[in-house]
Amino acid sequence: MKSEELFNESKKFLPGGVDSPVRAYKPYPFFAERAKGSKIIDVDGKTYIDYCLAYGPMVLGHANPEVMAEVILQLKNGSAYGVPTEKEIELAKMVVKKVPCADMVRFVNSGTEATMSAIRLARAATTRNKIVKFEGSYHGAHDYVLVKSGSGAMGLPDSPGVPEETTKNTILVPFNDEDVLLDLVKDQGDSIAAIIIEPIMGNIGFIPPKKGYLEFLRKLTSENDIILIFDEVITGFRIAEGGAQEYFGVTPDLVTFGKILGGGFPIGALAGKKELMEMIAPSGNVYQAGTFNGNPISVTAGLTTLKQLNHSFYSEMNLKGEKLRDGIRDVLVENDLNYQVAGLSSMFQVYLTEKEVWNYEDAKTAQIDKFTHYFQTLLNNGVFVPPAQFECCFLSLMHSDDDIQNTLEIIDKGMKTIKNL
């Protein structure tokens, strides 16, 4: 297999043979040749229905024709200027129009940069140092938040190279637990700058907030002058036009974006209330900068993508998601399995546990050894889901009824494989 050969070659030049840890799985990852719509095709010519979708960004499917056309036009006019462009205003306006908490936007290059900058801003605004994050949440690969993270960082809770001095100000709490936070804020509220949360946990599978939990957080943070940051790098523009904050009707002080916002190109953003955003340099003195910030290619792709994400788009995505999740539930019933099907709109995951999953500890009861076999069966049969139990799967607009039907048959095979293990 050419993928296997490439992986062996790759390991000589790239640590672990990949550029991001989650991409490596046993015995070797397939190498992509091209992708179109709901499909990704590997270098050996095999086609997969893609539910990884680059870990979230490709909400319109791969190689969306409008995005391609606009990006090609922009490319001909140059790909980076180091001076502002009108399109940045256009994209910022679109974000402000769609997202409840957004008065102003700063474009950066990744979700990681967005959360790093949002935390710096929150610390500056409150002149406090501590931040609170949730066990199993992932906010990118920078030092402040690399403590019991989800995603590829699972199992590397404290990476070597992250000084204790950096993470001693990061306090971990369990998701969906009001009492722990009440006690924490009572004790230390006046030294906490921000609570950063994925309003739906998407890097430990899929965990929704309990009813009223986000409202509780909003009230607690407001009363204690703590800045509430929603990390909507996954949920932004996926769950609803205005993200999870629109869906749940809870407005944070700051929000971070990435993934979908770049229409398949690298981007990140932080957005929020004007008073806060105007503290960012050069209008204020909270430093944030980047050579490629707001670069015209990503901005063009983002604009062309966001223009296509209207109300009917979300209705359609909700239907696709429901159809797939209902189908998986049927497969589980037929196989007499009691696993958890989690998800909302175009996000989903099957937890291989009989326990309902409301936090990190619950998620950890999933049988990850079985997941490996399940994943391999899907892959062998032409369905690509992220290679880890604690990632989330995604649908795109291009996933057809046929794709979903085929996928359900293959998931049935996957479940039959692990049933008797």
Q: Which is nearer to ligand PLP, 37 or 236 (CB)?
A: 236
Q: Are 340 and 355 in contact (CB under 8 A)?
A: yes
**363 exposure class (CB count in 10 Å sphere: 0-12, 13-18, 19+):** buried
Catalytic residue check, 46: no
Q: Are 233 and 111 in contact (CB under 8 A)?
A: yes
Catalytic residue check, 25: no
- x/- string (CB under 6 A) for ligand PLP, residues 338-357? --------------------
Pick from 233, 255, 378, 385 the residue near ligand PLP by CB under 6 A: 233
Q: Which is nearer to ligand PLP, 112 or 377 (CB)?
A: 112
Smallest distance from ligand PLP to CB 198, Å: 5
Distance CA 229, CA 214 (A): 11
Smallest distance from ligand PLP to CB 112, Å: 3
22-30, 105-113, 206-214, 295-303 -> range binding ligand PLP (CB under 6 A):
105-113
The token duo for 308 is 């296509």
**264 exposure class (CB count in 10 Å sphere: 0-12, 13-18, 19+):** buried
Q: CA angle 59-115-23, nearest 5°?
A: 55
The three-class DSSP label of residue 40 is strand
Helix H or strand E encompassing 107: strand 104-108
Q: Which of the following is catalytic: 259, 320, 351, 360?
A: 259
Q: Which is nearer to ligand PLP, 203 or 295 (CB)?
A: 203
Q: With contacts defined by CB under 6 A, how many residues of the chain interact with ligand PLP?
A: 15
Q: Are 279 and 286 in contact (CB under 8 A)?
A: yes
Site for ligand PLP in 130-149 (CB under 6 A): 138-140
Q: Which is nearer to ligand PLP, 231 or 362 (CB)?
A: 231
Q: Is residue 360 at the binding interface for ligand PLP, with CB under 6 A as the rule?
A: no
- x/- string (CB under 6 A) for ligand PLP, residues 261-300? -------x--------------------------------
Catalytic residue check, 287: no
Residue nearest to ligand PLP (CB): 111
Q: CA angle 30-36-38, nearest 5°?
A: 80
Smallest distance from ligand PLP to CB 270, Å: 11
Distance CA 354, CA 356 (A): 7
Catalytic center residues: 138, 231, 259
